[in-house]
Amino acid sequence: MRVIIGGGGGFIGQSLSKLLYKRGHKVTIISRQPGQKRITWDDVTKKGIPPCDAVVNLAGENVLNPLKRWTAQFKNEVISSRIETTRTLAKAISLSDHPPRSWTLVTGVGYYPPSRTQQYSEDSPGGDADFLSQLVRDWEAAAQLPITDPNSKTQLVIIRSGVVLGRDGGALPSMLWPFRLCLGGPVGSGQQPFPWIHIDDLCRLLCQTIEQEGKDGGVLNAVSPSSISDTNADFTRALSKALKRPAIFPAPAFAIQALLGNERAVMLLEGQRVAPKRTLQKGFTFLYPDLNSALAELLSI
């Protein structure tokens, strides 16, 4: 199969591409920069997408980049890098003479309102709680274009992911150094839910979605089964145990707010208890269903 991945040169895209190559598929990346095995967003706008079997969108400016101040301009970049790229792909798919069988968008569990007690599955309502949930709502809406055509052969799958834990990118590498220096600890109170998934499981789920036959779209939560009860304090304890380092220095909420701004700090100081209910119903099996197994693999040499 030929798979086109918007933003495929990033953390998740690189792992997904490796897995797709291993499974015998061909990959073309859409990037802002031209290059080998790449096309640009301008190419897609002008000429549409090349013939392919599946399209995935992973493009998006890093929301939690601590080097970028939370200004109106940066917020707009965070929004448009997701919504405009998704809209561009949805439009290209709907105009294609040979539309792909599958169209997958990776968004986030930030769709569901932050809560320490409420439990969410794929059919729970959301999308209006705060900046992030509204962003996810609009981002997912931007993907819908092709299926407004009743004759469309393309199935849309929306993968709502938790924090992706991997060796080569995402949140984990930057969390490791304070722990290695014995300066680690929970974020804020530590009582906020911590929905997460191992990068290998996310990429396996994406592959399963891409490879499946038939029309079976909809939302899938990409979180480990233990995420329904894991808190930031649980993650801190598991990381401390895996690294054999103490975790006694909490990162106070006011410091996180000062660094990231209040609206962004919510993403670290609050969270959602999320179950991968439909994902499990579809027969997906997690290689790393709990924090201890995931961290043991990610921190092994």
Ligand X SMILES: NC(=O)c1ccc[n+]([C@@H]2O[C@H](COP(=O)([O-])OP(=O)(O)OC[C@H]3O[C@@H](n4cnc5c(N)ncnc54)[C@H](OP(=O)(O)O)[C@@H]3O)[C@@H](O)[C@H]2O)c1
Tally of CB atoms within 10 A around 61: 16
> Do the beta carbons of residue 171 and residue 163 sit within 8 Å?
yes
List 43, 48, 50, 61, residue binding ligand X (CB under 6 A)? 61
Report if residue 32 touches ligand X, rule: CB under 6 A.
yes
Report if residue 169 touches ligand X, rule: CB under 6 A.
yes
Measured from the CB atom, the residue of 182 and 220 that comes closer to ligand X is: 220
List 44, 75, 82, 198, residue binding ligand X (CB under 6 A)? 82
Report if residue 55 touches ligand X, rule: CB under 6 A.
no
List 106, 203, 233, 291, residue binding ligand X (CB under 6 A)? 106
Instruction: Please choose, out of 113-121, 141-149, 161-169, 260-268, the segment that lies near ligand X by the rule CB under 6 A.
Output: 161-169
List 3, 4, 5, 13, residue binding ligand X (CB under 6 A)? 13
Instruction: Please choose, out of 94-102, 167-175, 229-237, 287-295, the segment that lies near ligand X by the rule CB under 6 A.
Output: 167-175
Task: Please name the residues in contact with 275: beta carbons below 8 A apart, sequence gap of 6 or more.
Answer: 119, 120, 121, 221, 223, 225, 227, 228
Phi, psi of 157 (to 5 degrees): -120, 130
Task: Kindly state the helix (H) or strand (E) to which residue 272 belongs, with its residue range.
Answer: none
- Quote the least distance from Cβ 109 to ligand X, whole Å: 7
Euclidean distance between CA atoms 52 and 69, whole angstroms: 38
- Quote the least distance from Cβ 31 to ligand X, whole Å: 3
Phi, psi of 43 (to 5 degrees): -55, -45
- Quote the least distance from Cβ 5 to ligand X, whole Å: 10
The CA-atom distances, in angstroms, between 285 and each of 30, 120, 205 are 30, 19, 9
3-state secondary structure of 254: helix
List 44, 60, 195, 224, residue binding ligand X (CB under 6 A)? 60
The DSSP letter of residue 271 is -
Phi, psi of 28 (to 5 degrees): -125, 135
Euclidean distance between CA atoms 56 and 6, whole angstroms: 6
Report if residue 12 touches ligand X, rule: CB under 6 A.
yes
Euclidean distance between CA atoms 175 and 185, whole angstroms: 10
Q: How is residue 235 written in tokens?
A: 């993650």
List 108, 185, 190, 193, residue binding ligand X (CB under 6 A)? 108
List 99, 170, 184, 186, residue binding ligand X (CB under 6 A)? 170
Instruction: Please choose, out of 46-54, 58-66, 182-190, 270-278, the segment that lies near ligand X by the rule CB under 6 A.
Output: 58-66
Measured from the CB atom, the residue of 64 and 147 that comes closer to ligand X is: 64
Residues that bind ligand X (CB under 6 A): 7, 9-13, 31-33, 58-62, 77, 81-82, 85, 106, 108, 161, 163-164, 169-171
